[in-house]
Chains A and B, each alone.
Chain A
Amino acid sequence: MGARPAIRAREITKSFGDIVALDGVDLDVAEGRIHGLVGPNGAGKTTLLGLLLGLAVADGGRLEILGRPIGRALDAPDGVAGFVDGPGLYPSLTARQNLAALADLRGRDNRTAQIDEVLGEVGLTDVADDRVHGFSLGMRQRLGLAAALMIRPRLLVLDEPSNGLDPSGKRHVHRVLKGLAADGVAVVLSSHRMDDVEALCSEVTILATGRVAFSGPLSKLAAENPELDYRLVTSDPDGARRLAAETTGITVADGSELVIRTRIPALDELVVRLVRGGIAVRELAPVVSPLEAAFLTLTEDHS
């Protein structure tokens, strides 16, 4: 039996005056999944996240969150948490005070233990009693995540959660999000960083000009867009360029470094031919990730 749906959106539309932000968007996210939301600026990501958090109500379509139909603004069920446009913290309060004030607002008991626990989860125990005023962007992002974790969410909605995070902080946040997903929490996150989405998400929805350009597993996305650009560094650049040009299914780009556009089978064949020709392959990597390539292709198609 499959996981229960945390989000089920059908034909969602939302406009601001003459501007159509969302135009017939479908979205399905099951519990225990991390779902990436990507798209160029103005694609409707923040609007969609706002709808999921209950900040606004859709003009049309049907939205169910955690099994509950959403018919009006600020009607998101209790298990929904997250943030859009920054984590929303009060700089004059310490990290602990921010969380304590939120816990008190929501009428939660057993606060101290829970606050310590979530601060530990996001790696902010050492600065728990420091004012947020002096926090870096990455620390604020982590504290925002901690604030969302305070309500033990079943659906976590995050807007650019990796913004400002250093590699260590990013790894920390990724570990937390994967842990939540393993515990059955549905996570929807938007990001401009394709490496983050690829590292975290099992599914992705690409939005372009308010419409869904793609929605599904990452593997399916790669399959839909099989041709990629690869950078090839070898011991004999001229020989490699000649062999690449002779191989069926490979297009060689102009330029000083060797960049080829091809699918995986032709690429395999080229590597074999290079080795047989006595040319050592020192580096072979996609110029852009498969997700980014798909993103660029799909969003360019839509625009």
Chain B
Amino acid sequence: MTAAVRPVSVPRGYRFELVKLVSQWRIRLIVLACWIAPAVFVAAVSQQGTLPVDTLFGRWMHASGWAGSLVVLGFAGSWALPLLTSVVAGDVFAAEDRLGTWRHLLVAVRSPRRIFAAKALASLSVIVLLVAGLAVSSAVGGLIAVGNQPLIGLDGHLLSSGDTAVRMLLAWLCALAPTLALAAIGLLGSVTLGRSPIGLLLPALVALALQLVQMLPVPVPVRLALPGYAFISWNGLFANPAQKGPLLTAVGVSLVWAVLATALAYFLFVRRDFTNVAYDGSGRRALTAGVLPLAALLVVTIGLFAVSLGGNSSGIDQAKVQRSVSTAFAHLYRLQTDELNRPAVTEAQLQTTTDCNKGGGKLDPVGAGNDWRCVVTWHLPGVQAPGQAIYQLDLTPDGRYMADGDGPKEVNGYFLVRTPVGDAPNPLWQFDGNVELLTKG
């Protein structure tokens, strides 16, 4: 009698899937682009007179080589990573439908479970390679073009080069979590929708929807329950102390989405009838076994966060904004003091306070908006009269704000300051900050 049948091992299947993925010209092109384009982009932008100040850390691209990588991370979270996951994970199963190779693959491997594992691992590997390329390339480009200088953090404090490097690495690692969630959604789309282009585009479409929701003034529990929030909350790593709460929560939520979506894709895949030639997606099953469980997860997590956070507020209130602006201003004032060779002061000596209102005091001072106005007051040792500066804040619903100085030219009214060695960027003119949504006002 013939010997028992042995399915192909997962490592062999994984190699087979990797060979197929890497042989595709579009995957090769994307890998090449991810390892080269960010370096070129960061180096080129760093040499420009105008910087992308509307992107987080963009205004510091002249000052530190590390800023470029964070600019790329911000852009990647919005556009590049969802599209990359679409091309890789969104097509890994659908490609076999398109080529008509399922039967051939099943006969060769003899285990749908192992095929699934091999495909999921291969697409995961390629995605990690792409993310690594974006991170390494952008950092190398910045370091070569600008240098290994310290970076001004999100609340104005100066991060040493080593500290910045570690936080940058952590930020990219955190961005991997929502990327994996999107990749898992891509696997699910690829399994359920077959040759349909919607399957291929599903991660990008989901990411776009998540971004749109994050731009709306939704309550914090909703924001936290979305799997893409880690694409935003990594910026908390660049505050001092790091805003770990939202970040860890977002990473956890992303990973739960990644696990559930992968499990659903697996469940649907191993139940597929491969003898049915006319198969082109699981149709109704995609809805019941794919969309509904993920929708249920969203509802449950929103509910859990609503209960644990005790409310449905926007997470942005007057006290938090004032505290954040005071902290950033004090840090940046010290930087400006150093630049101008003035006598050194500490944050404690400055005793910075901020008074903010919204809509000229006519609106309730909560939530996002570009009508926040803050008056910062500080004290210098030996000087009786306190200093005052005004900022207009453009505060987005995710807690990020850009403060635009409106005060004396030598403090925050002009983009340059005159230093002993010539004109230099004024750190107090405009700065970025972040209101942590989870802390109590």
A residues engaging B (CB < 8 A)?
Answer: 16, 46-47, 50, 53-56, 65-68, 74-79, 81-93, 97, 101-102, 104-107, 147
Bound CA span A76–B99, Å: 24
Q: Which 8 A-B pairs have the closest CB atoms?
A: A88-B104, A77-B2, A88-B101, A92-B23, A56-B275, A74-B110, A68-B2, A66-B2
In the complex the two chains form, is B5's CB within 8 Å of A78's CB?
yes
In the complex the two chains form, is A77's CB within 8 Å of B277's CB?
no
Bound CA span A219–B252, Å: 71
In the complex the two chains form, is B20's CB within 8 Å of A92's CB?
yes
User: B1: which A residues are within 8 A, CB to CB?
Assistant: 67-68
Bound CA span A16–B16, Å: 32
- Chain B's interface size range is 35 or more
User: A74: which B residues are within 8 A, CB to CB?
Assistant: 5, 7, 106-107, 110-112
| B236 is an interface residue with CB less than 8 A from chain A | no
User: A89: which B residues are within 8 A, CB to CB?
Assistant: 99, 101, 104
In the complex the two chains form, is B274's CB within 8 Å of A55's CB?
yes
User: B13: which A residues are within 8 A, CB to CB?
Assistant: 105
In the complex the two chains form, is A106's CB within 8 Å of B108's CB?
yes
| 9 more A-B residue pairs beyond the given contacts A77-B3, A101-B20, with a C-beta to C-beta distance below 8 A | A66-B2, A74-B111, A88-B102, A88-B103, A88-B104, A104-B16, A105-B8, A105-B109, A147-B104
Determine which of A50, A67, A82, A101 lies in contact with B275 in the assembled complex, contact meaning CB atoms within 8 Å: A50
In the complex the two chains form, is A90's CB within 8 Å of B106's CB?
no
What sequence of 0s and 1s flags, for each residue 260-287 of chain B, a beta carbon within 8 Å of any chain A beta carbon? 0000000000000111110000000000
In the complex the two chains form, is A102's CB within 8 Å of B108's CB?
yes
Most A Cβ at <10 Å: residue of B100, B108, B274: B108
By secondary structure, the A interface counts as loop
Q: A55-B107, A66-B2, A106-B8 are in contact. Are A90 and B20 (CB under 8 A)?
A: yes
User: A81: which B residues are within 8 A, CB to CB?
Assistant: 107
Can you list 23 contacts pairing A with B, beta carbon distance less than 8 Å? A16-B275, A16-B276, A46-B277, A47-B275, A54-B107, A65-B2, A76-B107, A77-B5, A78-B3, A79-B2, A81-B107, A85-B277, A89-B101, A90-B20, A92-B24, A93-B20, A102-B16, A104-B16, A105-B12, A105-B13, A107-B8, A107-B12, A147-B104
Bound CA span A92–B103, Å: 18
In the complex the two chains form, is A55's CB within 8 Å of B110's CB?
no
Bound CA span A147–B105, Å: 12
In the complex the two chains form, is B16's CB within 8 Å of A101's CB?
yes
User: B274: which A residues are within 8 A, CB to CB?
Assistant: 55-56
User: B15: which A residues are within 8 A, CB to CB?
Assistant: 104-105
In the complex the two chains form, is B110's CB within 8 Å of A54's CB?
yes
Bound CA span A55–B108, Å: 10
Bound CA span A282–B87, Å: 65
Determine which of B9, B103, B273 lies in contact with A83 in the assembled complex, contact meaning CB atoms within 8 Å: B103
CB-CB contacts below 8 Å: B44-93 with A: none
In the complex the two chains form, is B104's CB within 8 Å of A83's CB?
yes
| B292 is an interface residue with CB less than 8 A from chain A | no
Bound CA span A46–B6, Å: 25
CB-CB contacts below 8 Å: B105-142 with A: 105-112
Nearest opposing residue in chain B for A82, CB measure: B107
What sequence of 0s and 1s flags, for each residue 2-43 of chain B, a beta carbon within 8 Å of any chain A beta carbon? 110111110011011001100111000000000000000000
In the complex the two chains form, is A85's CB within 8 Å of B103's CB?
yes
Bound CA span A81–B15, Å: 21
User: B275: which A residues are within 8 A, CB to CB?
Assistant: 16, 47, 50, 55-56
User: A106: which B residues are within 8 A, CB to CB?
Assistant: 8, 12, 108
User: B2: which A residues are within 8 A, CB to CB?
Assistant: 65-68, 77-79
Determine which of A46, A55, A88 lies in contact with B100 in the assembled complex, contact meaning CB atoms within 8 Å: A88
Bound CA span A65–B107, Å: 15
Q: A55-B107, A83-B104 are in contact. Are A92 and B25 (CB under 8 A)?
A: yes
